[in-house]
């Protein structure tokens, strides 16, 4: 009998615990693909839900790229001097080290997929927060 745990390659959102990420308000994420779920080493995929008027305060991830794909709802993304309202079927990209902001602007929550490479894992060493952007 082997002492090794068999690797999983299929994940259901309801089987993954939700958490509220730092630097965000009204947000619940579920880490679908990552080191702890399927053993991914170079990428991470989250399913997020963000309430109206809530989102991420200004921050950057040095050495880590991030992309967001909107499943439902509307949000305003700001990065690199560009700002745009995005909705279902649209993506935004946040280059490594580039400060960005993400805010829900519509009347319904935003559901989105968030992709990080390499994995973020909510490691405080992998984020720089813009303190002026944090509000209670």
Are 54 and 83 in contact by the 8 Å Cβ rule? The answer is no
Model confidence over 59-71: pLDDT tens digits? 999 999 999 999 9
Write out the two tokens for 102. Answer: 């993400």
Mean pLDDT across the stretch 65-87? Answer: 97
Q: What one-character-per-residue DSSP string does 71-83 give? A: EES-EEEEETTEE
Cα separation of 34 and 7, whole Å?
A: 12
Q: What is the pLDDT of residues 108-131, one digit of tens each?
A: 999 999 999 999 888 777 788 864
Dist CA 135 CA 86 (whole Å):
23
DSSP per position, 108-130: S-EEEEEEEES--TT-GGG-EE-
């Amino acid at each position: 009998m082997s002492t090794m745990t068999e690797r999983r390659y299929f994940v259901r959102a309801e089987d993954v615990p939700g958490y509220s990420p730092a630097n965000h308000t009204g947000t619940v994420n579920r880490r679908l693909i990552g080191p702890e779920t399927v053993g991914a080493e170079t990428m991470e995929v989250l399913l997020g839900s963000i309430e109206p008027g809530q989102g991420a305060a200004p921050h950057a991830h040095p050495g880590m790229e991030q992309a967001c794909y909107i499943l439902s709802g509307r949000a305003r993304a700001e990065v690199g001097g560009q700002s745009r309202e995005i909705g279902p079927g649209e993506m935004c990209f946040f280059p490594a080290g580039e400060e960005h902001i993400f805010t829900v602007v519509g009347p319904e929550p935003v559901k989105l997929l968030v992709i990080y490479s390499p994995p973020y894992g909510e490691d405080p060493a992998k984020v720089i927060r813009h303190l002026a952007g944090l509000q209670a």
